[in-house]
Amino acid sequence: MAVRTKLVILFLLVYVVTIVVVFPARLAVSFVTLPQGVSLNNVEGSIWRGSVAQVVTPDLTVHNISWQVRPWHVFTLNGVVDLQVARHENNPLAGNARVIASPGSVQVIDARFAGDLSELLDLSPVSSPIALRGPVILQVNDYVLGEPVCDILDGEVQAFDLQGEFNRRWQPLGDYTVRVGCSEGRLLVQMPRDNLLGLSVDGTIAPQGVDLRIGIAPRAGAPEGLTELLAWLGNPDAEGRRYFNFRL
C-alpha cells in the first residue's frame, strides 16, 4: 500500500473519530425515540462527554446526570460509560456507576448510590406503617440485565442509624443490611435478623410480583411503641418471632 494511501486512510480515521468525539449530545438525542412520558431537558456536551439537567419520567424526575465514554473500549466493540448522578435536593439517590454495553448484553459494575430512607419510601407503592428516616447506601458490584430482571446480581443495601417515629418521637432503630442477588431472573432479597428489631426478610421481587417472608422479634432496647404494631401479627412462635407473608 502506497504511503499516500496510508496517509489518506489515517486522515479519514482521525476525522471520523474527531466527529464522534465532538458530535453534540443534543443533536444525537434528537435522533432517538424515547419511551412515552420520558423526556430529557437541557442536554449539554458531546456524546463522548456530556450532561443532562433533567431526566423526566411519569413517576420520577432525576436531576444533573453526567456521563463520560471510555474511548479505548470502543475498539473491543464494548461501550463503557461512567455515569454520575449529582447531589440535588430532589434526587432520591446520588452516586456513580459504570455501564458496559455490548451486543446482546448490558452490565453495571462498581455502582454506589446514597440517599435517605424517607425519600426512597416516598417512591414506594406501599406505605410504611411508621415514618422512617436515615442514610442508605446501595452498592452493586455486578449486575447483568436479564429476563425479567437479571442474569447476574451481586449487591448490598445498608442503612445506618435508622430512626422511627413512635408517639410523635423519633427513636433509634440501629443499622440494617440487605443482600441482593438474582434467582431465576428475579431479584433475590435477604436480610439477616441480627439487628435491633430482629427483622429478617427473604424472598424475590420482579415486575410480575413480590413474594417476601418477613419475620420480626424486637430485642431489648427496641422502641416500646413497636409492641402495639406487632399485635396484629398474632402470637409469636417458640423463638418469640412473628412472621407474615408480603405478596403483590
Number of domains in the chain: 2
Euclidean distance between CA atoms 28 and 22, whole angstroms: 11
Residue 116 placed within a domain: yes
Q: Are residues 193 and 222 in the same domain?
A: yes
Residue 16 placed within a domain: no
Last residue of a domain, one of 83, 103, 123: 103
Q: State the residue range of the domain holding 239.
A: 109-247
Q: Are residues 240 and 129 in the same domain?
A: yes
Residue 198 placed within a domain: yes
Q: Are residues 227 and 114 in the same domain?
A: yes
Q: Are residues 183 and 216 in the same domain?
A: yes
pLDDT, tens digit only, all 248 positions of the chain: 565 665 556 556 555 555 555 667 787 778 778 888 899 999 998 888 899 999 999 889 999 999 998 876 665 667 899 999 999 999 999 999 999 988 889 999 999 999 999 999 988 877 888 899 999 999 999 999 999 999 999 999 999 999 999 888 999 999 999 999 999 999 999 999 999 999 999 999 998 899 999 999 998 888 887 877 777 777 888 888 999 898 88
Q: Are residues 121 and 235 in the same domain?
A: yes
> What is the reported pLDDT for 84?
97
Residue 3 placed within a domain: no
Q: Are residues 36 and 142 in the same domain?
A: no
Q: Are residues 125 and 211 in the same domain?
A: yes
Residue 5 placed within a domain: no
Q: Are residues 187 and 133 in the same domain?
A: yes
Q: Are residues 142 and 220 in the same domain?
A: yes
Q: Are residues 240 and 121 in the same domain?
A: yes
Query: Per this entry, what is the length of the chain?
Result: 248
The owner of cell 420480626 is 216
209-216 and 242-247 beta bridge pairing: antiparallel
